[in-house]
Structure 1
Amino acid sequence: MKVPTGCMFSHIVRGKGKDITYQNAGVDCGFVGALNAGFCNWRIDFTYANTGNKTYHTSRGTTHTECKIDPMRNNAPQTLPHYGKACAHLNINGVRRVSQCHHITK
């Protein structure tokens, strides 16, 4: 599956240190991208890895069977046990299609 022209996957993390106060990920489409049929059978997962790049937690999203032009998911505020990185992954039909990560440091 190709990501439609004019679409991008974004991941927002707000907070300080290991405290995440807000986290959101989704697809934004504009212009020509907004004309496509949407993303079907989609799911957004959040993963967390330590500084050694070892994933220690996955927050698996719900699979949505409907087709949506702007799939989005929020995740609850939390305090991470380790510094490292927080990532968001868009899965279509059970296959990871795109990811974006943020490094969580002191």
Structure 2
Amino acid sequence: MKIPTGCMFTHIIRGGGRSITYQNAGVDCGFVGALNAGFCNWRIDFSYADTNNRTYRTSRGRTHYECKVDPMRNNGPQKLPHYGKACAHLNVNGARRVVQCHHITK
């Protein structure tokens, strides 16, 4: 799944163990990437899966109908019930464009 040349999808998590104190995901574009028309009808979702890769929680973002070069979303602090992984998903026009995950381990 691709995003325009010159852009990166970033996913930041801060915390310790199963405690997330800060989480953010978004697109950073530079140079040629910053000249594109942007991402239209976009949404960023966060999902959480256990060590067996079973998704147990999804935080669905709001769909933004405007076009934006640098879509971004924060998610609130939380305590995860399981170790596993936390992922951020960028959806554009109803289709998943890119996913970035972090493994949450002891």
Place the TM-score, normalised by the shorter chain, in its bin: over 0.9
Q: Tell me how far apart the structure 2 counterparts of residues 94 and 82 of structure 1 sit (CA, whole Å).
A: 29
Deviations 1:48-77 (A, max 9, x none): 000000000000000000000000000000
CA RMSD of aligned residues (A): 1.0
Show structure 2 runs of 5+ residues with no match. none
> Number of aligned pairs?
106
* Structure number having the greater strand percentage: 2
Aligned to 1:35: 35
Deviations 1:14-46 (A, max 9, x none): 100000000000000000000011000000000
TM-score, normalised to structure 2, is 0.98
TM-score, normalised to structure 1, is 0.98
Go from structure 1 to structure 2 and tell me whether the alpha carbon gap of 1:89 and 1:50 turns closer, same or farther (over 3 Å shift): same
* Structural mapping, 1:2-21, within 5 Å: 2-21=2-21
Give runs of ≥4 in structure 1 deviating > 6 Å.
none
Q: Tell me how far apart the structure 2 counterparts of residues 26 and 15 of structure 1 sit (CA, whole Å).
A: 19
**Is 2:44–2:62's contact at 8 Å kept on the other side of the alignment?**
yes
Identical aligned residues as a percent: 82
